[in-house]
Structure 1
Amino acid sequence: MTLDDILASLFLEGHDIRNNDGLLLGSGPLKGGGRAEVIGVADRTAVGVDDAIRLSGQVLAALERGGDGPILVLVDSDSQRMSKRDELLGLNEFLAHLAKCLIYADMQGRHTVGLLYGHTAAGAFIATALATRTLVALPGAEPEVMDLPSMSKVTKLSIEVLKEKAKSTPVFAPGLDNLAQTGAVLATWDEKISLADQLQALLGNDRQGGDQRDRLGKARGGRPKAADMAERVYDLALQPE
């Protein structure tokens, strides 16, 4: 699906979302009523300091306007923009600010939903899609927290060793299926069915609230320890001194 096709399927009555130099900004009416604020990255744009602060501002402006509609984050990006200027300005802090804005929005009752429809990687992936409460994807999406050559440099393990580990440990492997197994991606939507209907079903089925990815990863066998460790830490924090 092209971006225009995706937006048309999400917002059957039209929308005011615009692609401004690779950034998506705007909103659209939901099928079940209400309105979704939309931010995102298009055309495999690398996310730099200017992009991160602009997206952050859009999230904060949505909170200031009020309402309880979801914030939808569409993602087809490169990694973060690794230029000298961006690094010197503190790109890591700008990306962290964007992630915090999305997390804060969710804490304020604005369900944040990420939709992967293309490529994404590294810091840009973490600060956008992975910072949402619920992450879904379309077939053909290509997410990767870190590609194997980069992972090899960081871990000092050979690519061959990493490829072997990836067969049994999804956290070592890029790709949509592996991220779904870890619980990062809730579901892959059917592009032949109305995306508006699938979004409405997702919002309507959100009974528990909060981030459920650690439990999902445990159930799917891709991240068996995270949920138990988080629960243990929570229990310890509640114990009297």
Structure 2
Amino acid sequence: MNWRELAAQLFGADHDIAENEAVLTGTARLDGQDIAIVGTTEHVAVGVETALAQAGFILDTIAAHPGRPILILVDTQGQRLRHRDEMLGINRYMAHLGKSIELARMSGHRVIGLVYDQALSGGFITSGLMADACHALPDASIRVMGLPAMARITKVSEDRLTELAQSNPVFAPGAENYLAMGGVASLWRGDLAACLREALGGEAGPARDLRSQLGAERGGRRLAANVAAAVASDDDTAPA
């Protein structure tokens, strides 16, 4: 689904979302409430300009519209892999984007992420995954690391990783697997405006991260919540 179709299903004609060099910004209205919209499209690789543009819009929203909910629309192939961006310090630009989202949350803004097309690696980690909760459309393509790259990093054969991915969501891409791991809070089907309305119903401001707990409940990450709890309590009996 492209962003225009998505916006029509979410808000009808009641929005002024615009695209500028694959960055989406604007304002929409749902049930009489203004919502700040920011995100990406065209499977863009997030570079220094892309990260800075999104962060700037979020900071402007915090300054000019205190408490206004923010919806982050995610469609990215990940971090831009160019020498220029690396030399300019893309890691700091992406950290700036992530910290801007955290500042919005701490300032009382409800922040919702929605993967509507593709979400890969660093471009996803510093946008949708920084939200209070990240949701996805069922057909969205989500992965932080592809199996070929994972094989190179872990030195485990791609065939073995493909085999593991059949039964373990940690090794497998896709919205359903990220739902099982708790990285995605829910899949939006049917009435998308109703899904957004429900997501916005949560409390604004800093919230407890429930992803490891959801992963345990859904069977996608069985140990993360227990290990985190044991570390937090200085318990040395955490499972190996």
Common topology (TM > 0.5): yes
Determine the C-alpha separation between the residues in 2 that align with 1:155 and 1:28: 44
Query: What is the aligned partner in structure 2 of residue 22 from structure 1?
Result: 22
**TM-score (ref. length: structure 1):** 0.90
Determine the C-alpha separation between the residues in 1 that align with 2:95 and 2:2: 29
Query: What is the aligned partner in structure 1 of residue 238 from structure 2?
Result: none
Q: Is the 8 A contact 2:17 2:25 kept in 1?
A: yes
**TM-score (ref. length: structure 2):** 0.91
1:15-71 deviation digits (Å, cap 9, x = unpaired): 11101010001111122x321111101011111011101111111111111322211
Determine the C-alpha separation between the residues in 2 that align with 1:164 and 1:225: 21
Aligned match for 2:229, one of 199, 216, 231: 231
Mapping 1:152-171, distance limit 5 Å: 152-171=151-170
Q: Is the 8 A contact 1:13 1:29 kept in 2?
A: no
**DSSP-derived class of the 2:15 partner:** coil
Structure 1: runs of 5 or more not aligned:
none
Query: What is the aligned partner in structure 2 of residue 127 from structure 1?
Result: 126
The Cα of 1:166 is off from its aligned counterpart by 1.8
Q: Is the 8 A contact 2:112 2:199 kept in 1?
A: no
Corresponding pairs, count: 234
Mapping 1:182-201, distance limit 5 Å: 182-190=181-189, 192-193=190-191, 195-201=192-198
Identity of aligned residues (%): 39
Q: Is the 8 A contact 1:12 1:196 kept in 2?
A: no
Mapping 1:1-241, distance limit 5 Å: 1-12=1-12, 14-31=14-31, 33-190=32-189, 192-193=190-191, 195-205=192-202, 209-236=207-234
Report the aligned-residue RMSD. 1.9
**DSSP-derived class of the 1:36 partner:** strand
**DSSP-derived class of the 2:8 partner:** helix
How has the CA–CA distance of structure 1 residues 108 and 55 changed in structure 2, closer, same or farther, with 3 Å as cutoff? Answer: same
**DSSP-derived class of the 1:174 partner:** coil
How has the CA–CA distance of structure 1 residues 34 and 210 changed in structure 2, closer, same or farther, with 3 Å as cutoff? Answer: farther
Q: Is the 8 A contact 2:75 2:115 kept in 1?
A: yes
Q: Is the 8 A contact 1:77 1:120 kept in 2?
A: yes
Structure 2: runs of 5 or more not aligned:
236-240
**DSSP-derived class of the 1:99 partner:** helix
Determine the C-alpha separation between the residues in 1 that align with 2:167 and 2:72: 31
1:88-112 deviation digits (Å, cap 9, x = unpaired): 1111221122112112211222111
Please identify runs of 4+ aligned residues in structure 1 that moved more than 2 A: 205-211, 228-237
Q: Is the 8 A contact 2:110 2:203 kept in 1?
A: no
